[in-house]
Each structure stands twice: as structure tokens, then as C-alpha cells.
Amino acid sequence: MDMILNDLGWRYATKKFDTEKKLSADQENTIKEALRMTPSSFWLQPWKFVFVKNPELREMLKEHAWGQSQVTDASHLLILCRENEVDQNLVNEYFEDMKKTTWAGEEDISGYKNMVTWFVWNLDSEDAKIWAEKQVYIALWNIMTVLAEMKIDSCPMEWFDSVKFDEILELQDKWISSVVILPIGFRASDDKYSENQKVRFDQNHLFLEI
Ligand SMILES: Cc1cc2nc3c(=O)[nH]c(=O)nc-3n(C[C@H](O)[C@H](O)[C@H](O)COP(=O)(O)O)c2cc1C
């Protein structure tokens, strides 16, 4: 079997983490770099990634995630957030970064910059929210695949109160909102969910050839 299929079969939404096993600094850095490499539409990167390292905050958050133990027990708790403002400032920030990190000068980028500016100008706030959230989900799946390859466990979670999370973590002050969370660490040896068989539609159901 392809290695990648093996890894995807190995991973599962971990319900019970081993509280003793922690990610190394190197592993944390690889996770950050892999998140940084996530592609986004127009490469605008309308996201921020928050690692909650304060155990007391994690305890408070658990209450607003239906008491799910992954929030406190996993080695790391990652909150994937969207930028609240998808606007000219974000476009400017991106193109300044492009000028710093590539050979491109103002004259090379102006056509593309106009197009991206036109795109953000035409988004109302609801469209901007939906668009940014879609980008955040690309980062979610990117990092989950990378983690599977690194044999590190995770559990994607939407069952949490994002309003309360934002309040507790004071995310509004940073102009960001939580979208989805990802506890990351190592499965407990007695997590019975690790033995569950994968339930997925078969290829005949999923693929059309037209
Ligand atoms: C976006 C998303 C949100 C999810 N939210 C939760 C959650 O809040 N709590 C939980 O235990 N599992 C959650 N799951 C896990 C799914 O139930 C699980 O991925 C799915 O049943 C497939 O099983 P597998 O990931 O173990 O292969 C979520 C999964 C995704 C992709």
C-alpha cells in the first residue's frame, strides 16, 4: 500500500490523549512550518494559528467544548483562526511580504495586486467570513495530513463555542476569530476509538467519470 494511504489509515480523530507524552520543540517547529506552507486563494493567508499553552486557559476552554477531554489532555491545543478583516491592509501586507521575499518589484506585481484588490473590495463582510473560513479549513487538512505522516495524533473539533473561546482568549483584540480547533499529541494506549474501522463511501459512490 502507498505510504500515504497507510498514514491516512493510521490516523483517526483521537478521543483520548496520553497526558504524559509531549511534542518535542522540533516537532512543534515542523508543525508551524507546515502550517506556514499551506496554500490559500490568492495566497492571501487570511489566518492566524494560536497555540494555547496556559493550562488554566485550557481548563476554562474545555467547559465550552462540551467537556471534551482532548482540549486539556493533548500535548498541544491549536486554535485555527480567520482574520476578521479581509481588506486592503491584508492585500498590502501580502504584497509587501512578496517584495521582501522575492525578486518582484512594484512594476511586476501591480497588475496582480489590482486584481486581488478588486476581489477584496467586492466581498461583503459575510462573504469575507465564509471565504476566510474556507481557507482555514485548507490549513486544517494540510496539517492533519502532515501530522499523520509524522505519526502524531490529532482531533479536529468543531464542537466548541467559538464566541466563548474568542472571549476567553481575547481574540477580538487581535482582530481574529476561532474557526476550528485541533488538539495535537499522542493517543492513549487505551483509546478504544483507535481500533474503529474507517467508515467511508466506496469509490463507486464518490467518483463520477463524465
Ligand atoms: C471539521 C471536523 C470537526 C469535527 N469535530 C469533532 C468534535 O468536535 N469532536 C470529536 O470528537 N470529533 C470531531 N470530529 C471528528 C469526526 O467525527 C471524525 O473525523 C470522523 O468521524 C471520521 O473519523 P476518523 O477521523 O477517525 O477517520 C470532527 C471532524 C472534522 C473533520
Residue 13, beta-bridge partner list: 154
Q: Which domains does the chain have, with CATH numbers?
A: 3-84+124-206 (3.40.109.10), 87-122 (no CATH)
Q: Which candidate, 73, 113, 76, places its Cα nearest to that of 93?
A: 113
Instruction: Enumerate residues lining ligand 1, CB below 6 A.
Output: 12-13, 15, 68, 155-159, 180, 198
Q: What is the dihedral of CA 130, 201, 66, 18, to 10 degrees?
A: -110
Residue of minimum CA distance from atom 10 in ligand 1: 157
Q: Report which protein residue has its CA nearest ligand 1's atom 19.
A: 13
Residue holding cell 507546515?
34
Signed CA dihedral, 180, 186, 190, 195: sign only:
positive
Ligand 1 atom closest to 15 (CA): 11
CA of 155 to the centre of ligand 1 (A): 7
Please give the model's pTM, rounded to 2 decimal places.
Answer: 0.96
What are the pLDDT tens digits along the chain (210 aa)? 699 999 999 999 999 999 999 999 999 999 999 999 999 999 999 999 999 999 999 999 999 999 999 999 999 999 999 999 999 999 999 999 999 999 888 888 899 999 999 999 999 999 999 999 999 999 999 999 999 999 999 999 999 999 999 999 999 999 999 999 999 999 999 999 999 999 999 999 999 999
Ligand 1: centre distance to CA 89 (Å): 34
Q: What is the CA radius of gyration of the chain?
A: 19
Complete edge-to-edge strand list for the sheet that includes strand 76-83 = 47-51, 76-83, 176-185, 153-154
For the CA of 159, the nearest atom of ligand 1 = 8
